[in-house]
Chains A and B, each alone.
Chain A
Amino acid sequence: MHNDALLGLVIAAALAFDFTNGFHDTANVVASSISTRALPPRTAIAIASLLNFAGAFISLKVAATIATGIINASQVTTTIAFAALIGAIAWNLLTWLYALPSSSSHALIGGVVGAMLAAVGASAIKGQALVGKVIVPALLSPLIAFVAAGASIAIIYWLVRHRRPGVVNRGFRAGQVISGSMLALAHGTNDAQKTMGVMSLALLANGNLSSQNFHVPTWVVVSAASAIALGTYAGGWRIIRTVGSRIIKMDTAQGFASQGAGAAVILASSHFGYPLSSTHVISGGIMGAGAAKRFSAVRWGVAGNIVAAWTLTIPGAGLFAAGAWWLADLLGTGVLGPLVIAILALGGLAVLGVVHRQRVGAPLATEGRS
């Protein structure tokens, strides 16, 4: 059923989600490079933005997984796609307000699944694909990054064990420019594609695309790439202000190893179409690089946060998405329901912002996102 006004609303919500994804994740992508002084903050953020943009053009397999891999795309309506996005955005805002651990990627997947369950039922979910393509890779990916980063730093320390620290530090500082760039590229590849997937779902539902001949239109790729790059750039300015207090200190070799391992895991997963939480992968890499040097130096609480995020995010976002779909359905099948929800969401966002400012009077929490 064609409804271009509703489609426009979904596309706007998707791009807003993509922007916030980039905004939240700037810290993950540039933190190591800035903390080890491998790059000045402004340069690190500019490079991250550009490479997030470029990364979105590398592969489209994750977008295909989101759009057609975990649900029956032929049963999707534009309202379902809208409810999925609202569920993900609402969950992100709630967890942001209460500083709960979360993952934007998992929130989006939870939103898609929750909206489909509410609108169509369990038959619309490809349960086995959801487990095989989303849940198992999500559980494994931080562990793979942990092991890869740990092994990398062990090899690096062995290789440079008799060398002068000054030369070695300068070498890995240069290396971090490469590994940080690869991480930004990887982030753009995996995360921008998730939004492309939802936008493609909406286009499928609106009849602009066919599920038999599925492809992601170029304008979808360009707009998603632009939104995540702009979000990364905008998010970066807060990082410049808070970099001194929030970033874990590590040496240049550890930064290089953790970024390299994170980039490798995200790029390999993107190549095979697995949508990952990039924050969890990067956290796994940082913990691996830290544990290999000194086990007790690692903030193991981060691991607990990741487990909590795994447990809560998909069902939580799913519930919000289901609620959004039911409300939209209650108000009719046209654009009215989604429009009312969008207005309510904007109002809620303004209230949340005011409440948060009154409560903490400080910059907003950004940890635990992807």
Chain B
Amino acid sequence: MIGPETLHVPPMATIVDFTTLGKTVLYSFIAGIGFAAVFGGGVSSVAGLVEAMRTGRTVAVVGWGALAVLCAAAALAAIAAGIYAMTGG
């Protein structure tokens, strides 16, 4: 009779490197969702900036403008960091 003793199938944990796979999933989520959130924040800020300029609200213009610049810088930094991490091994 074939049973677990005779089949000798190694447990999944020894076949799959869950640490590396987990890191891949984590990095994918951080990069994919994080970049979208930062860029989406930037687009929302620019839209807020345009609206504030149209209605002549100076404080809001400065606030949305600063946030848009911050988001743009963060998005560019994320791309640079990602490429550096890839090429750096």
A interface residues, Cβ below 8 angstroms from B: 58-59, 128, 131-132, 136-137, 140, 144-145, 147-149, 151-153, 155-156, 159-160, 163-164, 167-168, 171-172, 175, 178, 182, 189, 253, 256-257, 260-261, 263-265, 267-272, 274
Closest to B43 in A: A171
Q: Which residues of B contact A269 (CB under 8 A)?
A: 24, 28
Inter-chain CA distance A160–B51, complex, in Å, is: 13
Asked whether any CB of chain A lies closer than 8 Å to the CB of B77, the reply is no
Q: Which residues of A contact B29 (CB under 8 A)?
A: 144, 147-148, 151, 264
Known contacts A132-B17, A140-B25; decide if A171 and B32 are in contact (CB<8 Å): no
Q: Which residues of B contact A178 (CB under 8 A)?
A: 39, 75, 79
**Sample of 18 more A-B contacts, CB < 8 Å, known A156-B36, A260-B36, A261-B33:** A128-B10, A131-B15, A151-B29, A151-B33, A152-B32, A155-B36, A156-B40, A159-B43, A160-B43, A163-B48, A167-B50, A168-B47, A171-B43, A172-B43, A267-B86, A268-B28, A270-B86, A271-B86
Q: B39 to chain A: closest CB distance in Å?
A: 5
Closest to A289 in B: B36
B35:A159 contact, CB within 8 angstroms: no
A128:B44 contact, CB within 8 angstroms: no
Overall SS of chain A's interface = helix
Inter-chain CA distance A57–B78, complex, in Å, is: 20
A272:B25 contact, CB within 8 angstroms: no
Scan residues 34-65 of chain B and give those whose CB is less than 8 A from a CB of chain A.
35-37, 39-44, 46-48, 50-51
Q: B50 to chain A: closest CB distance in Å?
A: 5
Known contacts A137-B24, A264-B31, A272-B23; decide if A155 and B37 are in contact (CB<8 Å): yes
Q: A262 to chain B: closest CB distance in Å?
A: 8
Q: B44 to chain A: closest CB distance in Å?
A: 4
B33:A164 contact, CB within 8 angstroms: no
Inter-chain CA distance A58–B25, complex, in Å, is: 20
Inter-chain CA distance A171–B72, complex, in Å, is: 11
Q: Which of A58, A149, A167, A270 has the most CB of B within 10 A?
A: A167
Inter-chain CA distance A55–B42, complex, in Å, is: 27
Q: Which residues of B contact A148 (CB under 8 A)?
A: 28-29, 32-33
Overall SS of chain B's interface = helix
Inter-chain CA distance A45–B14, complex, in Å, is: 43
Closest to B27 in A: A268
B interface residues, Cβ below 8 angstroms from A: 10, 14-17, 20-21, 23-25, 27-29, 31-33, 35-37, 39-44, 46-48, 50-51, 75, 79, 82-83, 85-87, 89
A160:B40 contact, CB within 8 angstroms: yes
A260:B32 contact, CB within 8 angstroms: yes
B47:A164 contact, CB within 8 angstroms: yes
Q: Which residues of B contact A257 (CB under 8 A)?
A: 36
Q: A310 to chain B: closest CB distance in Å?
A: 17
A to B CB contacts below 8 Å, 7 in the list: A58-B83, A132-B16, A144-B28, A152-B33, A159-B43, A175-B43, A189-B86
Inter-chain CA distance A264–B35, complex, in Å, is: 9
Known contacts A160-B47, A164-B50; decide if A267 and B82 are in contact (CB<8 Å): yes
Q: Which residues of B contact A268 (CB under 8 A)?
A: 23-24, 27-28, 31
A59:B87 contact, CB within 8 angstroms: yes
A256:B24 contact, CB within 8 angstroms: no
Inter-chain CA distance A272–B86, complex, in Å, is: 9
Q: Which residues of B contact A156 (CB under 8 A)?
A: 36-37, 40, 43
Q: A274 to chain B: closest CB distance in Å?
A: 7
A272:B28 contact, CB within 8 angstroms: no
Closest to A285 in B: B32
**Contact check: which of B32, B39, B46, B82 meets A167 at CB < 8 Å?**
B46
B86:A58 contact, CB within 8 angstroms: yes
B86:A149 contact, CB within 8 angstroms: no
Q: Which of A59, A147, A148, A261 has the most CB of B within 10 A?
A: A148
Inter-chain CA distance A140–B31, complex, in Å, is: 17
